[in-house]
Amino acid sequence: MRAFFLRVRARRGQHVAAVATARKLAVVIWHLLTKGESYARARPSLHAKKPRDVELKAGSKAVRGQKGAAHAYNIKGHREEERRWVEQAEGAYARFVAGWNPRGPRKARTDAANEVRR
- What are the extents of the domains in the chain? 1-37, 41-60+67-100
Length of the chain: 118
Residue 24, pLDDT score: 92
Q: How far is CA 21 from the centre of its chain?
A: 9
d(CA 70, CA 109): 60
pTM for this predicted structure: 0.48
Closest alpha carbon to 24 in 52, 40, 3: 3
Low-confidence ranges of the chain (pLDDT < 50): none
pLDDT given at position 110: 67
- Tell me if 16 sits within 8 A of 5, measured CB to CB: no
